[in-house]
Structure 1
Amino acid sequence: MNRFLNTLVAVLLISTAASAQDELFNRAQAAYDDGRYGEAAMLYEKMIADGISNPEVHYNLGNACFKNSELPAAVRHYRKAYYDLPRDPDIQANLRFALNAAGAAETVPSFIERLFASLSLQEWIMTGTGGYLLLCAGLLTILFIKRSRRQTLKFLLLPLFVLALSFLGWRYWKNIQKNPEWVVTDKEATALFSPVEGSTAHFKLPMAALVKQRNTHGKGWIEVEYDGKRGWLKQDYIQMVSP
């Protein structure tokens, strides 16, 4: 009886939480539709703070921030949504639009980066799992069905290729987590030649620019790459965005 009651209470709590989340999402949508973009952004941010972090919420929050002239936050949330849905055309288009509105350069990935960014981290993990299961099935076939061994050995090349590609895709996203991207949040952000206060200025960064981390030094210094140039920034001028 106690187990039944505990299960019932857990189900009711989950149902209540889901209902509250739906209500909060609907309130945020209504605020956005009414042109109350600041209120909509606050509601979406509350959802994220409550643990509801999915690409739809980040995308909608990016839209609300953009309409509210908060370009750095818009870029950050569009980029966050992109990590989970890298092939979504609306996310890509709005991210480019926000960067252009900020006067910031768009990131130009190489062919290899486009290949590995075509799937999200979770999709690469799922693809690798599928390749592993195919490999196991092929090995079991070799063990128990002797007649088909030669054909099965050729078939094993496919799951091995999928596993290798999935590993490289997984490592691509893990490298981004290790060296994340940052969004410039201060209009006075200027990259320096060295991670030292008073160092010579190298280049100025537009607010809401998306930069890649290349190195760190001491406390609060990040070496960033932007538009083919590298320089050092104080972490106070930027905010991290990571898969």
Structure 2
Amino acid sequence: MAGVWRCMLPVVVLMCVCLWGSTEAVGGAVSRPRPTRRPYKKPTVNPIDLSPAAQNINIQQMAGTWYLLNTASKCSYLMNHGTKVEPTVMTLSLSTDQTLSVSTKTRHSHQCWEILQVYNETPTPGKLKLKGNRPELDTEIVIGETDYNSYAIMYYQKRGKITMKLYGRSVDNLSEPMLTKFEQLAEKQGLGLAYLFPFPTYSHCGTVDQDHVINCVPTC
């Protein structure tokens, strides 16, 4: 009998160890602290540097029609649909209340749409603001360079991300050096050739049906 007990003892001990281990594992899983969400951290926003040219912008001379020729951006929409962009034209109109009325016409699903926005002037020449639903969604806009008659390079900054746009007064009067300059300025913002999206220079929208006029803040 003693021999049987000596044979059974290791088995009993092994079972106890196994049961203890499994109990600890289950208990440990229950008592493991819940993962906590990381606190929201506002993105670091470095203001766009104003060049000497931008500091002397005459906003009144910016009024009129501008055709979008090229965009440099890491915007997710452009990254996914950049090969399908549509001809886009922007019209700026000055108001008497320190605002700039902006009409952007583009085509979507074979129909012309007009997007209406308001850019607010700031105390800094060449710098505007498009207000979002919350202050952190505001878009800072800087007119980086322009000669008012042929081209304008504009910077759009929202939540720390920058989009650059090259506009022309017409679709065919920009020189190759100006296009190269835009690419070089985009490169300084970390927007290399992979992030450049040329826009069509033909078949722009004219009159837009009232049902296709919307007020909104773009994502890009």
Larger Rg belongs to: 2
Question: Normalising by structure 2, what TM-score?
Answer: 0.21
Q: Could you say which structure has the higher strand fraction?
A: 2
Choose between structure 1 and 2 for higher RCO, CA contacts under 8 A separated by at least 6 residues. 2
